Amino acid sequence: MQLSETAPLFSTVKLGSIELKNRLVMAPMTRSRADADGIQIPLAATYYSQRADAGLIITEATAVTKQGSGYPVIPGIWNDAQVEAWKPVADAIHAKGGLAFLQIFHTGRIAHSTLVGETPVAPSAIAPNGETMTATFAQESFELPRALSTEEIPGIAAAFGVAAKNAIAAGFDGVEIHGANGYLIDQFLRDGSNQRTDAYGEDRTLFLKQVLDSVIGAIGAEKVGVRLSPWTPFNSMTDSDLEATFRKAATALAGRRLAYLHILNGGNDNRPAAESFSLELAEIAGLPLIINGGYDGAAANAAIEKGIAAVAFGIPFLANPDLVKRIEKGAELNAPDFATFYVGGEKGYTDYPELATA
């Protein structure tokens, strides 16, 4: 379906300190093409700048520490060499008129000791189900994580602040705190993975709040977004009262004047219900809402008409560098090549074709 040029999806919107030229956001996507030291590859500048027509690019999840870098060949942002490697990426996006937030995370128990150099850490000593990748790309069962001591948790929150400062030094317009998809912040939020009896168990949002304090202190609230995924069971996430848990998480964001709340509706097949609850969370938080998960142009436009600020596209942006133009024209989309999501160098990365201009 072709959308009119004046469709709300193509209108500008202000999120914190930035103004998006349209409401199509590129969702964060891990591409696993960095090196073993978490150094982003130069080709990432081409990949991301090809997609700079997006109103905002949110980068792949980037680790705040080695302890939080639980997958092989994902990028980091804790040392100078990593910052240097990200600079050409931010520059290339800006040179094409785009904006970008770096997504920052700590993988917690979603890790293998061969990658993080120690037993993976978590709120509680509860292993996720299934297998994960080791440093040599072998599949092995998840290890039993070590429960973090009360004293060491503020240090991890502080590392998010350092990472945010580094992201700004690398040239990014802000950061997205990755509180979704079963990584450390999500592990703290839910009672399936957080069975602590200290302050971090009594208030499962305490770690999120400390991360927010640290990141806001480092770069200012208007440059900070937060991503949550209430319904995503990925990485063995469970909770006995999901709605109450996420209302509390939204309350933890309230009054902080962040740039946005980003909600992934994955796992909830009922889009109207997911949008309504997400809007409720955004209202509690007092923030503009970015929604994501399975959208096409028409559904995204309808979401904007409902008061959602922007819609993030994952796989459609991965496979279509010119997604904005294609949605505008109602053009067909390239088929994604699943085999090259996490491997393949330039194949499936920078070689998806754009529409012929003729």
Ligand X SMILES: Cc1cc2nc3c(=O)[nH]c(=O)nc-3n(C[C@H](O)[C@H](O)[C@H](O)COP(=O)(O)O)c2cc1C
| Interacting residues with ligand X (CB under 6 A) | 27-30, 60-61, 103, 178, 180-181, 227, 264, 266, 292-295, 313-316, 341
Distance CA 128, CA 234 (A): 10
DSSP string, 201-250: HHSTTHHHHHHHHHHHHHH-GGGEEEEE-TT--TTT---SSHHHHHHHHH
- Beta carbons within 10 angstroms of residue 183's beta carbon: 25
Minimum Å gap between C-beta 235 and ligand X is 11
Report yes or no: 222 and 258 within 8 Å, Cβ to Cβ. yes
Of 61 and 153, nearer to ligand X (C-beta) is 61
Of 10 and 71, nearer to ligand X (C-beta) is 71
Minimum Å gap between C-beta 74 and ligand X is 8
Structure tokens at 33: 């093409």
Of 21 and 31, nearer to ligand X (C-beta) is 31
Minimum Å gap between C-beta 234 and ligand X is 9
Query: Which among 121, 50, 100, 41 has a CA at the least distance from the CA of 75?
Result: 41
Of 196 and 323, nearer to ligand X (C-beta) is 323
Distance CA 165, CA 146 (A): 28
Point out the catalytic residue in the list 183, 200, 349, 352: 183
Of 105 and 200, nearer to ligand X (C-beta) is 105
Ranked by CB distance to ligand X, the top (closest) residue is 314
DSSP string, 268-326: ---HHHHHHHHHHHHHHHT--EEEESS--HHHHHHHHHTT--EEEESHHHHH-TTHHHH
Q: Is 352 a catalytic residue?
A: no
Q: Which amino acid is present at 210?
A: Q
Of 159 and 228, nearer to ligand X (C-beta) is 228
Distance CA 71, CA 38 (A): 10
Distance CA 353, CA 322 (A): 9
Minimum Å gap between C-beta 202 and ligand X is 27
Minimum Å gap between C-beta 33 and ligand X is 11
Q: Which amino acid is present at 289?
A: L
Helix 153-169 vs helix 206-219: crossing angle, to nearest 10 = 30
Minimum Å gap between C-beta 229 and ligand X is 8
Which of the residues are catalytic? Answer: 183
